[in-house]
Amino acid sequence: MKLAHTWILMIVTALGLTQCNVTGNGNDPTPNPNISKTELLAGTSSKAWVLTSSKIDGDEVINQSFPCTRDDNMVFRTAKTYEWNEGGSKCNAKSPQVYETGTWEFDTGETEIILSKELHYKIIKLTANTLQISIQNVFGETEELTFKPN
């Protein structure tokens, strides 16, 4: 009987260890160490991201925004420029498609994305399918933004 318990314990341990390489929700593949953070963020030329979650101090607030803003794209380019654009729908038909442009860079440790040399976003998660960043706003609140490729 003791031998059976030992075998069961070994099998459960082996199965548990084989799951250590599985990431969170199944949407993100195991990171490829040969892909740079620049390529994850900006693709091979450019990459558009759409906001899927917006939290302030842990509380989800994306549903408080206008529906016409929820399809806006943040586009990063390998040339170290970015843009915010209206996506497929505009809140005002007379508004320009692109409403913000600037430059982007990583800090030296590639733990922050710096927009236009002013805004420092801490990188929480950057994979092929997820961009999750945070910043402290002027009110001292922590804003956490999660994007998926669009």
Write the pLDDT tens digit of every residue in 12-50.
333 333 333 444 455 677 778 889 999 999 999 999 999
pTM of the model: 0.79
The CATH number given to whatever domain includes residue 87 is 2.40.128.540
Q: Is the pLDDT at 2 greater than 90, yes or no?
A: no
Angle at CA of residue 102, ends 97 and 104, nearest 5°: 125
Phi and psi angles of residue 42, each rounded to the nearest 5 degrees, phi first: -115, 5
Asked if 145 and 53 count as a contact pair (C-beta separation under 8 A), the reply is yes
Q: In the prediction, which pLDDT does 98 show? A: 97
- Using DSSP's 3-state secondary structure scheme, residue 18 falls into helix
For residue 129, count other CB atoms closer than 10 A to its CB.
Answer: 14
Domain count, the chain: 1
pLDDT tens profile 84-143: 999 999 999 999 999 999 999 999 999 999 999 999 999 999 999 999 999 999 999 999
Domain that holds residue 142: 36-149
